[in-house]
Amino acid sequence: MSCYDLSRLLFDLKMKETVYQSSLKDFERVMADYDLTTEEKDALRVGDPRKLRQLGVHGMLCLYIKRLQSEFRDNIYWQQK
């Protein structure tokens, strides 16, 4: 099954600053803008990239969920593409 919207949200978290900033404020509201299943929303809330990978997301996109976690927000990885 396609997980296009889930992948798109993760992509946007890294590539679109507005989506990232909005997600820091209200991630539930941002998730509502994407066509996500309940299982996908739960995996995003947990924030474990391994769980997202199990849903079929490309492994590198899975890592982008870490950007929302406080200990990873200043990670140098976000300053390069």
Binding site for other proteins (CB under 8 A): 4, 7-8, 11, 14-15, 49-50, 53, 58-63, 66, 72, 75-77, 79-81
26 vs 58 by CB, closer to other proteins: 58
Residue 37 Cβ vs other proteins, minimum distance, rounded to whole Å: 17
Residue 25 Cβ vs other proteins, minimum distance, rounded to whole Å: 23
- The residues, ordered by sequence, that sit 6+ positions from 53 with a Cβ below 8 Å of its Cβ are 59, 62
What is the rounded distance in angstroms from the CA atom of residue 64 to the CA atom of residue 59?
A: 9
Name residue, tokens 């976690």: 69
